[in-house]
Amino acid sequence: MLGYSDVPIVLPPNARSYFGCIEAKYVTAYLEDYVDSHIYNGRSLRSRICHGQYVEKIEKRGDVWIVSARDSEHRVHYFTAYKLAAATGLTSLPYMPAIFQRPGAFKGPICHHKYFGEISRTLLKTPECQNVAVFGAGKSATDMVYESVKQGKTVSWIIRKDGEGPALFLTAPGRGRYKNSIEAGATRWSAYFSPSSFMPQGWLARLIHRTSFGINYLRDKIRQGDRSGRVAAAYRARQGALPGFRDLEPTASAFWFTGPLGLVQYDDFWDTLAQNVQVYRNNISSMKSHSIMLDDGTEIKSDILLCGTGWSAQYPFFSKDLTCSLGLPHHPEDDSLADSQLWNGLVNVAEQQVLADYPILEHPPPHKTAKVPTTSLRMYNGIAPLEDPSVVFLGRVHLSNAFRTSEAQAIWATAYFDGNVKMPPIEQAQRDIAYMNALSRKRYPSHGAAGDYLFFGLVWYTDRLLEEVGLRSHRKGWWADWVEPCLASDFKDTKKEYLEKYRS
């Protein structure tokens, strides 16, 4: 599932791998080499990156986009273009709870997981940093817990009691032809069991999602999927586990994504956590110079606090007016009355259609719903604003695989800027967006309120993008199309196909 279509990831002979899951350092090395080895018009990709510059403002004057950026020496640089691709994605701005922004008496470093790669090679290796506290419940927090234990640290893991709870970890082994469970879930056959706003509504979709036989079969698959991860972890029966290990047992459902999800990537993963980590299901009440106080009075010694607290999906360099007109999420009060009524009406109608297409979504399990103080994302395919064809937003929707998603979006955006992809009429585009928003909310009740959660829709989403461009070289033939995993490497011939189709 890793790597772009034109260059495969090649691992050294001694690389650690667990059912095809590899350490992040190899992906980093791959990307570093990628930007050096790809040269266009005599310049590498790396030479085109302006390092150490922070974008402060993006505005449009007439037909020209103007980007203002400030470097580390406070000098302002200006860039102008007729086309703009905003590719900052969803993981650029760290989110830190207010208590960590004002730590008070705490003297140790407080670090977001964005910087953990550097921290694991520096601060974490110093003898002064022995007691490590990790705050957060998801995959990123778990990764920091695991690595800290592996570096010989005394680790305390704090998971707040009023959140979604610990992550549900899926087992890695695949079956038959599949290297791992992620590959098995990335086939078109498997994709039919996950409601998606981009799924073809043919006979098989109707059989699975609109008949009692199909719905009961799907419910059984959901129960089995949730149970398999819990059984493998053995939260209440693992030999040698510390008492707090059972507090890592999740309540989340993988299908519904009602809590954090992850994949077991090491053969010693569960034993490492169970036998070495003190788990606390409490909220932080205050902090002392070298300790953290929990709301039940527990005091945890800590030389460093690592925060797996997620991201803030914002575009602070756009003005309020541009944010609204481009269809980015914004405060509802910034909408005109006409826009508010239009979109509320469209989404209400779309929700009824979603429930007609996928009746199972009418009855989600118990879950927490995050409050989202903004409108939904109002962009065609989650990429293109309705009112300005000179700008696209890449990486703005949540999907399960960044390599395939980014390559498919890049192909679509190129064709869009070339004029080889046309949006449908405005009324149809608005209905398509409203349906995407509505399904996001119903399909992912804990995370989908912003209308941009398509997580398990990777296959149908990327298929739709290439279908709109008019490309088919990524398809594998009848049987393979159904059972082979959909990877970024499938796109290896799309550049040639595109040039032959549109540059003749």
Instruction: Report pLDDT for 103.
Output: 66
Listed residue (313, 302, 311) closest to 110, CA to CA: 302
SS3 content of the chain, % helix, strand, coil (to 5): 40, 15, 40
Q: Residues of 333-350 as b/e, b for ≥16 C-beta within 10 angstroms?
A: eebeeeeeeebeebbeeb
Secondary structure (H, E, C), 295-360 = CCCCEEECCEEEECCCECCCCCCCCHHHHHHCCCCCCHHHCCHHHHHHHHHHHHHHHHHHHHHCHH
In terms of DSSP bridges, do strands 39-40 and 43-44 run parallel, antiparallel, or are they unpaired?
Answer: antiparallel
Instruction: Please write the tens of the pLDDT for every residue from 5-58.
Output: 999 999 999 999 999 999 999 999 999 999 999 999 999 999 999 999 999 999
Grouping H, G, I as helix, E, B as strand and the rest as coil, residue 425 is coil
Reply yes or no on whether the pLDDT at 369 is more than 90.
no
Distance CA 302, CA 112 (A): 15
Percent of the chain beyond pLDDT 70?
Answer: 100
Chain position carrying tokens 């950026």? 69
Distance CA 428, CA 386 (A): 11
Distance CA 260, CA 412 (A): 30
Instruction: Please write the tens of the pLDDT for every residue from 296-339.
Output: 999 999 999 999 999 998 999 999 999 999 999 999 999 999 99
Reply yes or no on whether the pLDDT at 280 is more than 90.
yes
Mean pLDDT confidence for 211-227: 96
**Average pLDDT, rounded, for the chain:** 95
CA triplet 64, 67, 69: central angle to 5 degrees? 165
Amino acid at 445: P
Grouping H, G, I as helix, E, B as strand and the rest as coil, residue 502 is helix
Instruction: Report pLDDT for 99.
Output: 84
Instruction: Report pLDDT for 439.
Output: 98
What are the phi and psi torsion angles at 28 (to 5°)? -60, -45
Instruction: Please write the tens of the pLDDT for every residue from 120-155.
Output: 999 999 999 999 999 999 999 999 999 999 999 999
Tokens of 370: 């995050």
The pLDDT confidence band at residue 459, using thresholds 50, 70 and 90, is very high
CA triplet 280, 284, 286: central angle to 5 degrees? 135
Listed residue (259, 229, 193, 258) closest to 457, CA to CA: 193
Query: What DSSP state is assigned to residue 16?
Result: -
E strands, 10-115, in order: 17-18, 21-22, 39-40, 43-44, 53-61, 64-71, 76-81, 84-86, 110-112
Beta carbons of 402 and 487 less than 8 angstroms apart: no
Beta carbons of 109 and 304 less than 8 angstroms apart: yes
Distance CA 271, CA 471 (A): 47
What are the phi and psi torsion angles at 503 (to 5°)? -110, 15
pTM, entire model:
0.95
Instruction: Report pLDDT for 102.
Output: 75
Instruction: Please write the tens of the pLDDT for every residue from 80-100.
Output: 999 999 999 999 999 999 888
Beta carbons of 409 and 465 less than 8 angstroms apart: yes
Tokens of 208: 């699975």
Q: Which residues contact 47 (CB under 8 A, 6 or more apart)?
A: none
Query: How remote is the C-alpha of 486 from its chain's centroid?
Result: 17
Grouping H, G, I as helix, E, B as strand and the rest as coil, residue 139 is helix
Beta carbons of 281 and 37 less than 8 angstroms apart: no
Percent of the chain beyond pLDDT 90?
Answer: 94
Distance CA 458, CA 460 (A): 6
Reply yes or no on whether the pLDDT at 504 is more than 70.
no
Instruction: Please write the tens of the pLDDT for every residue from 312-321.
Output: 989 999 999 9
CA triplet 486, 492, 495: central angle to 5 degrees? 125
